Amino acid sequence: MFGIMSCLWAAHPPPDRCDELNGATQRTDEQLVQRMDAAHQVISSAQRQLFELIAEVDRREAWRDDGAHDMAHWLVIRYGISSWKAYRWIAGAHALEGLPRIADSFAHGDLGIDKVVELTRFATPEIELGLIRCAQEVSCGAIRHRADLAARRDVQDVIDPENDRSLSWSYFDEGRRFALEAELPAAQGAVVARAIERIAESVSAMPDEEAQVFASARRADALVAMCSSGIAADTDQDRASIVVHTRADSREGPGGSEIEGGPVIHPRTLQRLLCNARVQTVIESKTGDVIGLGRMTREPSAWMMRQIRYRDRECRFPGCGARRFTQAHHIAWWRHGGRTDLDNLLLICSFHHKLVHEHAWTVKRRKDGTFEWFQPDGIRYRAGPSPGEHRPQLSRAVGM
């Protein structure tokens, strides 16, 4: 496969900029089109290899420990593509491993990347040859429409009785846990499930909770996020303070802090609460006597949050781009004397907020208003591909 690309590249070597400017007007239209076709074939071959590498990186989970919550998020950060495209590329990369004819057409430039990605959503080895012929004659939109229909093929429209619908909740485990139970007609339940699942895709899993076994935990996070958004939009909301009781000698060690009427929490969780919630810390002695009160933390005012969202627009972790479930983070932590001022606040998503407070990542603000992020080992984090001097030339990258 790459031998053919080598011949094409040799027949049409990449010109330098001067040759390109001086020679373009001297070539015929046919020669220019041939050059474009040759370039397209080289690019397609490189894209096919990129998909092979994406599948392998995903299998090895080589994206871990790089500031991303999954493979798609890693691609978004590293290469600046959209989240939608990242998920499609990953799915397509894995599907191509079982579709040799489509993969070969992709590598030779007979099918462009957009058509290939849509074909992989429903193609099978038994029908891929016919699909290739069809795909060459129709638009990418037509292929996407067929893929959308195939994806909905198993959806059942079931209508259940309305009479037995119910919703109830209760507290248990001495008030530390909350149970919610609902029974709905299937059609209404599908709406609830879809809303939770869609939000769960946006609520990032923490580094130790990416496995499928934690899917239910992410759905629980999604439900809380959905309800929190509704409360936040309520103009008549009553924001109660969270009271945390902590021992004077345990603010840096494990345990020792307890939410009033709630569970015992780890000090790092307390630090995160102190950053973005309204909390009153009650400092007690070993015998339970109150010996001091911590400052009452305050969330940024409404006007400050408007300014922060206008200024930062999205999560400021390099390349993240998340706009949902973002929070104002105190760069100099509140508990260390940091003020709730605009120049000490940074908009980050809930995932990266937890990385800072519970996984030892750090962020610093430069004098020019930009930010530097550091991994737990203190090494500065930089998004994007490796530096240019460490990347192979295109001819070597595609095996020529």
Cβ 325 vs Cβ 348: under 8 Å:
no
Q: Which among 14-18, 292-296, 309-313 has the top mean pLDDT?
A: 309-313
Q: Which of 1-5, 70-74, 260-264 has the lowest mean pLDDT?
A: 1-5
pLDDT digits (tens, 9 = 90+) for 87-100: 999 999 999 999 99
CA-wise closest residue to 143 among 51, 151, 109: 151
Question: What are the backbone dihedrals phi and psi of residue 346, each rounded to the nearest 5 degrees, phi first?
Answer: -140, 135
pLDDT on residue 113? 94
pLDDT higher for 313 or 9? 313
pLDDT higher for 325 or 373? 373
Q: Which among 24-33, 133-142, 184-193 has the top mean pLDDT?
A: 133-142
Q: Is the pLDDT of residue 34 over 60?
A: yes
Question: What are the backbone dihedrals phi and psi of residue 214, each rounded to the nearest 5 degrees, phi first?
Answer: -95, 10
Q: Is the pLDDT of residue 351 over 60?
A: yes
Q: What average pLDDT does the chain have?
A: 75
β-sheet with 242-247: strand ranges across:
264-265, 257-259, 242-247, 279-284, 290-293
Q: What angle do helix axes 71-79 and 29-60 make, rounded to 10 degrees?
A: 140
Structure-block tokens of residue 140: 């990418």
pLDDT higher for 23 or 190? 190
| pLDDT-based confidence at residue 68 (cuts at 50, 70, 90) | confident
Cβ 45 vs Cβ 4: under 8 Å:
no
pLDDT on residue 28? 87
Percentage with pLDDT > 90 across the chain: 24
Q: Which among 111-125, 147-161, 283-297 has the top mean pLDDT?
A: 111-125
Q: Which of 6-15, 48-57, 294-303 has the lowest mean pLDDT?
A: 6-15
Q: Could you tell me which residues are beta bridge partners of residue 258? A: 245, 264
Cβ 325 vs Cβ 319: under 8 Å:
no
Rounded-to-integer distance, Cα 233 and Cα 213, Å: 32
CA-wise closest residue to 400 among 114, 6, 1: 6
Structure-block tokens of residue 249: 């000698």
Cβ 122 vs Cβ 151: under 8 Å:
yes
Q: Which helix (H) or strand (E) holds 74?
A: helix 71-79
**Overall average pLDDT of the 7-17 stretch:** 49
pLDDT on residue 255? 46
* CA-angle at 249, arms to 248 and 254, nearest 5°: 115
- Residue-by-residue DSSP string for 251-308: SSSSS-EEETTS-EE-HHHHHHHHHHS-EEEEEE-TTS-EEEE-----PPPHHHHHHH
Residue spans per domain, the chain: 2-151, 166-232, 242-293, 302-381
Q: Could you tell me which residues are beta bridge partners of residue 293? A: 282
pLDDT on residue 291? 46
